[in-house]
Amino acid sequence: MQSSLPWASSGGVEVHAPSGSQCIYCLGSRALCGKRQCPILLRYSKLQPVVSLRLEERMAMDGASPPGVFVGRIGYPKVGVGPLVPPFFGDTSILDRPESWWSIDLDRLVEYRSSLVRGIFRVDVHNPWEAGRLFELTQEMAMASQPADASLEFSKPVKARVILDEDAQPFGPYGLVERIEAGGIKVNRVIEKAYYDEDLKASEAVYYAYSAGIAVSSIQKALSAAVFGVGKRRRLVPTRWSITAVDSILAEKLMEKIREYPEAGEHVVYESQHIDNKFIVVIIPGKWSYEFIEMFHPGSVWNIGGGEDVAIGSDYEDSEGRTTYARIGGCYYAARLAVVEHLNRIRRQGAVLVLREAGPGYLLPAGVWLVRENVRKALAGKPVRFGTLEAAITYAAKRLKTPWRMVLRESRLLRNIRERRRITEYLKE
């Protein structure tokens, strides 16, 4: 993989405790296989470029934060936290704005993300303010509306490693920071208002910011950096957790409205594709229910075993919603938010089947933004309309490389619809 950045070079990639026997449910983060490091992520870590930044002999760095912040989870509740800063100035906003990544490929994404240095200092998630100015400036950057110039001084040289994670976008090199200076931070006024309202619950602050038009990625940063919440109960939220938390909070709030809308009147199919990931969304007349099925073809990141079988996994909820965390992980919640946003726009409810098919071009985990933005993109496009479920399903089946029998065997939503039809037909006799 070639990089166009003059300061990029080869190196290693840091990966954390992976997951187990069923890779599609583990996604390299739950250590289900018992190994200390995920063999899949380790395999690809050796292929990816990492930015060394030529900082091995330097102990300081200046640049424009996108703005961005990172909150780790290793060692919780004592975690690493700090700003994301590249070693250059200018409009760096695209480096940490997933909503702008629709047109970029995987190589460019890794290039963008590996250019961001994490200036890390360790704090307790319950009392990050003990870090003083280090945390104050980090929190201000989490609230910023545009890039802010920053200067970092490290206690040790930067380590040129990248974190790969299926839930969060890749994160670049890091260094233990002992001094942070920043200037020209322009705080987002909506987020600032929520910050000063110490009686506003975190979930209410998340929805308030979203309703005011703040991007989901900006809300996620603010929640992660303890900007939201009631008074002294505010705490840091690891980045990968805050991403799914915001997706879930917003979807749950919108679903309260959706359940009151009339049912969709026709069967429609939407489609999008990016980084060798195809997304198909089928909306079926009926009460709210939702299913996310993902299929990884041989050679893709969660199916590199060398066989010819497609790896498939799913999760589902009916009109009552969920009470447990989805086995499929953050992608389930990212797609669900995009779906309920669309249903809220058209003032309808329905049964929604989201299909994700990843091919061998999807070499390493890019983060759940890929799912959210792809489903958003699909639903913003023109649908193909059908008069019957059978016609819609036949069309969707032809758009996939995966044998449709695998989808039928996996899909609880389609199984439930078939069973309901059989009962209705029997009662009419």
What string of DSSP letters covers 328-345? TTHHHHHHHHHHHHHHHH
Is the pLDDT confidence value at 316 over 50? yes
Relative to beta strand 384-386, strand 267-274 is antiparallel
Task: Map residue 69 onto helix, strand or coil.
Answer: strand
Q: What is the mean pLDDT of residues 305-325?
A: 87
- Please, are residues 140 and 187 in contact by the beta-carbon 8 Å criterion? yes
Query: Which tens digit of pLDDT belongs to each residue from 327-367?
Result: 999 999 999 999 999 999 999 999 999 999 999 999 888 99
Query: Which tens digit of pLDDT belongs to each residue from 293-308?
Result: 999 999 888 887 656 7
- pLDDT category of residue 17 using cuts at 50, 70 and 90: very low
Q: So what's the pLDDT on residue 68?
A: 95
- Please, are residues 61 and 85 in contact by the beta-carbon 8 Å criterion? yes
Relative to beta strand 78-85, strand 117-124 is antiparallel
Burial class of 34 by CB neighbour count within 10 A (0 to 12, 13 to 18, 19+): exposed
Other CB atoms within a 10 A radius of the CB of residue 88 amount to 14
Q: So what's the pLDDT on residue 167?
A: 84
Calculate the alpha carbon distances from 58 to 18, 65, 85 in Å: 33, 19, 15
Query: Which tens digit of pLDDT belongs to each residue from 178-197?
Result: 999 998 899 999 999 999 99
Q: What is the mean pLDDT of residues 1-8?
A: 30
- Please, are residues 368 and 305 in contact by the beta-carbon 8 Å criterion? no
Other CB atoms within a 10 A radius of the CB of residue 193 amount to 15
- Taken in order 27, 33, 39, 40, the sign of the CA dihedral is negative
Query: Which tens digit of pLDDT belongs to each residue from 74-125?
Result: 999 999 999 999 999 999 999 999 999 988 998 888 888 888 999 999 999 9
List the beta bridge partners of residue 61.
152
